[in-house]
Amino acid sequence: MDNIAGSKSSLRWALHLSVAFLVVLWLIPTVGLLVSSFRTTDQISTGGWWRALMTAEHNLTLRSAGPDAQTQVEGIYVIEGNLSKNDKALDIRVWGVSSRAIYAFEPGETAKLRKGGTIVVSADGSYRMENTQPFTGSRGVRVFVSSALPPEFTLDNYHKVLFDPKNVEGMGQAFLTTMIVTIPATIIPILIAAFAAYALAWMQFPGRALLVAFIVGLLVVPLQLALIPLLKLHLNIGIGKGFIGVWLAHTAFGMPLAIYLLRNYMVGLPKDIIENARIDGATDFQIFMKLIVPLSFPALASFAIFQFLWTWNDLLVAKVFLIDSSGQTVVMTAKLVEMLGTRGGNWEILATSAFVSIVVPLVVFFSLQKYLVRGLLAGSVK
């Protein structure tokens, strides 16, 4: 097809470039978050993630040692030391002693102090103050430095979010809760739906077409309609809010798509095999277990992926049917929303937590994409 199109090479280049542009555009937001999750707090606040590989500059307000540290050397009063608060060496580009002129001096230059005396600051942060009179007052002088921050990547954020026992976010706990919600809510609907799909595909009974239409209708019923009546129901029959409620809800909300997908797939299975098995005396139950289930594996897999992604990523169902005031059963999505509100500025924690919740679906997505695509193609109502 390409050959007869006689496409010009310049056109091919434009094609490659535009696809590359599209891909970059689609990836950039996620990459930004991923990079941010490996940066330190200082790094994040001093420059965008796209500068993560470059040396950044940040402005610090530091203070020299107080007058009590002064010594007298050959008639001059001297205070010496290093401005760095932790033992990390600074890499000072410019500095100043007044908040109105913070870029006034290069390292090694001498500045006059307002209260008398001079100060020399060198690039590594060490300074020397001299005065002919004794330094007075209770505190040291303020020095404004603009220091270079070399690129730095760290796993500390992940450690903090997942394993730190003092960590109030409890993302580790939320991870576990999400797992507990997701796994039963993925397996049980498959089982129930497979039997129903088999009946709808291969058994003869009156009202079958109507039932299929009923399921197609339920496919698009918005979740919002189910919330109030079901919450009322759960509270009335004593399930209340908890895992059982959320499992049941997820099972039900996945059911129309499951039956629809599996039925469409099973209808397409070769008729001969099933008829032969019937003639050989197999019961429907045997046909289902020994023939249909193994043959339908691709469809079962694609629905499993759908349901897994949907339950893992869900916020609404968990909020309505699971999360109570005890705060012990918060899923990751809910935790993230909470953090967006309370720690909106703490991007290192936010980015890391978000990535912890995203990484499992991404692994599933990239490893089982084939089944996901197949399921999508079969599942969109034609």
Partner 1 sequence: MHPALQGLMTIVGGVSVCLSYYFISNWLLDNVFCPAKGKYVSRNINRATVIRPWLFLAPAMSVLCVYLAYPVIETFRLSFMERQGAEFVWAGLDNYKQMVSEEKFWEALKNNILWLVIVPAASTVMGLMAAQLTDRISWGNIAKSLIFMPMAISFVGASVIWKLVYDTRPIDQEQIGLLNALYLFFGGDAPQTWVTIPFWNNLFLMVVLVWIQTGFAMVILSAAIRSIPEETIEAAILDGANPWQVFFKIKVPQIKGTILVVWTTVTITVLKVFDIVYAMTNGQWNTQILANYMFDKLFRANDWGVGSASAMVIMLLVTPILVWNVYNARQEQQ
- Tell me which residues in 1-60 interact with partner 1 (CB under 8 A): 1-2, 4-5, 7, 11, 15-16, 18-20, 22-23, 26-30, 32-33, 36, 44-50, 56
- Which tokens in the block code for residue 71? 């010594």
Pick the binder of partner 1 from 139, 203, 276, 297 (CB under 8 A): 203
Length of the chain: 382
133, HSE (Cβ side, Cα atoms, 13 Å) = 7
What is the residue type of 244? I
Q: Are 143 and 90 in contact (CB under 8 A)?
A: no
Applying CB under 8 A, does 336 fall inside the site for partner 1? yes
Return the residue matching tokens 């197949």.
374
- Which tokens in the block code for residue 34? 């991923």
| Collapsed DSSP state (helix, strand, coil) of residue 76 | strand
**Where in 241-270 is the site for partner 1 (CB under 8 A)?**
243-244, 247-249, 251-253, 255-256, 259
Stretch that binds partner 1, among 64-72, 77-85, 107-115, 364-372 (CB under 8 A): 364-372
User: What is residue 49's DSSP assignment?
Assistant: G
Pick the binder of partner 1 from 133, 221, 275, 324 (CB under 8 A): 221
Pick the binder of partner 1 from 150, 165, 229, 294 (CB under 8 A): 229
> Phi then psi for 73, rounded to 5 degrees?
-120, 120
- Which tokens in the block code for residue 193? 């739906």
Applying CB under 8 A, does 89 fall inside the site for partner 1? no
**N-to-C CA span, the chain:** 28
Kindly tell me which of 64 and 357 has the beta carbon lying closer to partner 1: 357
- To the nearest whole angstrom, how small is the minimum distance from the Cβ of residue 118 to partner 1? 29
Stretch that binds partner 1, among 77-85, 125-133, 205-213, 272-280 (CB under 8 A): 205-213
- Which tokens in the block code for residue 114? 């307002």
Stretch that binds partner 1, among 85-93, 101-109, 156-164, 239-247 (CB under 8 A): 239-247
Pick the binder of partner 1 from 66, 170, 184, 298 (CB under 8 A): 184
- To the nearest whole angstrom, how small is the minimum distance from the Cβ of residue 105 to partner 1? 21
Residue-wise DSSP of 80-149: EEE--SSSPPP-EEEEESBTTBTT-B-TT-EEE-TTSSEEEE-TTSEEEEEESSPP-SSS--EEEEEEEE
x/- map, 132-161, partner 1, by CB under 8 A: ------------------------------
Q: Are 102 and 144 in contact (CB under 8 A)?
A: yes
Angstrom distance (rounded) from CA 103 to CA 110: 13
| Collapsed DSSP state (helix, strand, coil) of residue 367 | helix
Kindly tell me which of 153 and 214 has the beta carbon lying closer to partner 1: 214
Applying CB under 8 A, does 237 fall inside the site for partner 1? no
Pick the binder of partner 1 from 164, 284, 291, 295 (CB under 8 A): 284
Kindly tell me which of 134 and 240 has the beta carbon lying closer to partner 1: 240
Pick the binder of partner 1 from 110, 118, 283, 342 (CB under 8 A): 283
Applying CB under 8 A, does 101 fall inside the site for partner 1? no
